[in-house]
Amino acid sequence: MSEPSQTERAERPRRALVTGAASELGREIVLALARNGYDVALTHHKTALPNELMSHPDLAAVKTVPIEMELLSQSSIDKGFDAAVEALGGLDLLVNNAARPLLKQAV
Protein backbone atom coordinates (compact mmCIF):
# COMPACT_ATOMS: atom_id res chain seq x y z
CA MET A 1 0.00 0.00 0.00
CA SER A 2 1.53 3.33 -1.05
CA GLU A 3 1.64 6.55 0.95
CA PRO A 4 -0.92 9.23 -0.04
CA SER A 5 0.42 11.99 -2.26
CA GLN A 6 0.95 15.51 -0.91
CA THR A 7 -2.20 16.63 -2.76
CA GLU A 8 -4.24 13.76 -1.28
CA ARG A 9 -2.96 14.60 2.22
CA ALA A 10 -3.81 18.30 1.75
CA GLU A 11 -7.33 17.53 0.50
CA ARG A 12 -8.40 15.13 3.22
CA PRO A 13 -9.61 16.52 6.53
CA ARG A 14 -7.11 16.52 9.37
CA ARG A 15 -8.51 15.38 12.70
CA ALA A 16 -7.18 15.92 16.21
CA LEU A 17 -8.12 14.93 19.75
CA VAL A 18 -7.02 17.46 22.38
CA THR A 19 -7.27 16.55 26.05
CA GLY A 20 -7.63 19.35 28.58
CA ALA A 21 -9.15 21.68 26.01
CA ALA A 22 -10.74 23.93 28.64
CA SER A 23 -7.38 24.93 30.14
CA GLU A 24 -5.55 28.02 28.90
CA LEU A 25 -2.93 26.01 27.01
CA GLY A 26 -5.49 23.51 25.72
CA ARG A 27 -7.67 26.34 24.41
CA GLU A 28 -4.75 27.86 22.49
CA ILE A 29 -3.81 24.46 21.03
CA VAL A 30 -7.40 23.88 19.87
CA LEU A 31 -7.61 27.32 18.25
CA ALA A 32 -4.23 26.93 16.51
CA LEU A 33 -5.25 23.54 15.12
CA ALA A 34 -8.59 24.93 13.91
CA ARG A 35 -6.83 27.84 12.18
CA ASN A 36 -4.74 25.21 10.39
CA GLY A 37 -7.79 23.29 9.20
CA TYR A 38 -8.05 20.53 11.79
CA ASP A 39 -11.42 19.16 12.86
CA VAL A 40 -11.08 18.86 16.63
CA ALA A 41 -12.45 16.64 19.38
CA LEU A 42 -12.09 18.59 22.63
CA THR A 43 -12.08 16.78 25.95
CA HIS A 44 -13.01 18.20 29.30
CA HIS A 45 -13.38 16.92 32.84
CA LYS A 46 -16.88 16.83 34.33
CA THR A 47 -17.90 20.30 33.19
CA ALA A 48 -19.14 21.74 29.94
CA LEU A 49 -16.56 23.41 27.77
CA PRO A 50 -16.75 27.19 28.06
CA ASN A 51 -19.23 28.80 25.64
CA GLU A 52 -16.54 31.33 24.77
CA LEU A 53 -14.37 28.53 23.40
CA MET A 54 -17.12 26.62 21.63
CA SER A 55 -18.40 29.79 19.93
CA HIS A 56 -14.94 31.14 19.04
CA PRO A 57 -14.80 32.35 15.40
CA ASP A 58 -11.72 30.17 14.69
CA LEU A 59 -13.87 27.08 15.24
CA ALA A 60 -16.61 28.13 12.82
CA ALA A 61 -15.04 26.53 9.74
CA VAL A 62 -14.13 23.19 11.33
CA LYS A 63 -16.01 20.36 12.99
CA THR A 64 -15.78 20.42 16.78
CA VAL A 65 -16.81 17.57 19.04
CA PRO A 66 -16.95 18.12 22.82
CA ILE A 67 -16.22 14.96 24.80
CA GLU A 68 -16.31 14.45 28.56
CA MET A 69 -13.35 12.37 29.70
CA GLU A 70 -12.24 11.39 33.21
CA LEU A 71 -8.52 10.63 33.05
CA LEU A 72 -8.62 8.52 36.20
CA SER A 73 -11.00 6.06 34.50
CA GLN A 74 -9.69 3.77 31.78
CA SER A 75 -13.23 3.08 30.57
CA SER A 76 -13.89 6.84 30.28
CA ILE A 77 -10.69 7.26 28.28
CA ASP A 78 -11.65 4.35 26.00
CA LYS A 79 -15.19 5.71 25.48
CA GLY A 80 -13.91 9.23 24.82
CA PHE A 81 -11.32 8.04 22.31
CA ASP A 82 -13.90 5.86 20.55
CA ALA A 83 -16.37 8.79 20.45
CA ALA A 84 -13.73 11.05 18.88
CA VAL A 85 -12.82 8.47 16.23
CA GLU A 86 -16.48 7.86 15.39
CA ALA A 87 -17.42 11.55 15.25
CA LEU A 88 -14.41 12.63 13.18
CA GLY A 89 -13.96 9.49 11.08
CA GLY A 90 -10.53 8.76 12.53
CA LEU A 91 -7.67 10.68 14.12
CA ASP A 92 -4.43 12.07 12.74
CA LEU A 93 -3.15 13.79 15.87
CA LEU A 94 -3.43 13.29 19.63
CA VAL A 95 -2.47 16.14 21.98
CA ASN A 96 -2.16 14.95 25.59
CA ASN A 97 -2.55 18.27 27.36
CA ALA A 98 -4.63 17.20 30.37
CA ALA A 99 -3.31 15.99 33.67
CA ARG A 100 -4.92 14.67 36.83
CA PRO A 101 -3.06 14.38 40.13
CA LEU A 102 -2.75 10.91 41.56
CA LEU A 103 -3.75 10.80 45.18
CA LYS A 104 -1.81 7.61 45.86
CA GLN A 105 1.57 6.26 44.90
CA ALA A 106 1.53 5.03 41.28
CA VAL A 107 4.25 2.39 41.59
pLDDT digits (tens, 9 = 90+) for 31-89: 999 999 999 999 988 667 778 888 999 999 999 999 989 888 899 999 999 999 999 99
pTM: 0.80
Cα–Cα dist 28/59, whole Å: 12
Dist. CA 63–CA 38, nearest whole Å = 8
Q: DSSP assignment, residue 13? A: P
Burial of 21 (0-12, 13-18, 19+ CB in 10 A): buried
Paired strand residues for 40: 16, 64
Q: For residues 5 and 44, what is the distance between their CA atoms, to the nearest angstrom?
A: 35
